[in-house]
Amino acid sequence: MIFKLVGDGRPYPEHGLSNREWAQIPPRQVRLDSLVTTKAMLDLHSLLAADSTFYGDLFPHVVQWRGELYLEDGLHRALRAALHQRSILHARVLELPS
């Protein structure tokens, strides 16, 4: 199993962080098997594109809420890590109060 759970949607409250605010959160290691996805589908063009990690933040965005880690942005990066047989991903983790 790659992820803890494949979800579809964001169960946590809206946080309203901008890309600039996300960039100020230092990345940390996160195990892939501890993540709950917020997207159930991914376009293979996004996953396999040579420049899929070129645009946007280099690190996936994870929201920690009520003891769970939700992969909000960066599913293609997480899947690429799994395809390279890595079990850990560096991500920015926002901790929301319960």
Has residue 85 been placed in a domain? yes
Has residue 15 been placed in a domain? no
Has residue 79 been placed in a domain? yes
pLDDT value of position 80: 87
Q: What is the pLDDT of residues 2-52, one digit of tens each?
A: 999 999 899 999 999 998 999 999 999 999 999 999 988 877 776 666 655
C-alpha dihedral sign at 57, 93, 14, 35: positive
Has residue 69 been placed in a domain? yes
Q: What is the pLDDT of residues 66-83, one digit of tens each?
A: 999 999 999 888 988 999
Has residue 61 been placed in a domain? yes
**Residue 64 belongs to what domain range?**
5-9+29-95
Across the range 48-64, mean pLDDT stands at 74
Has residue 49 been placed in a domain? yes
Across the range 85-97, mean pLDDT stands at 96
Residue 30 near residue 93, CB atoms below 8 Å = yes
Total domains in the chain come to 1
Length of the chain: 98
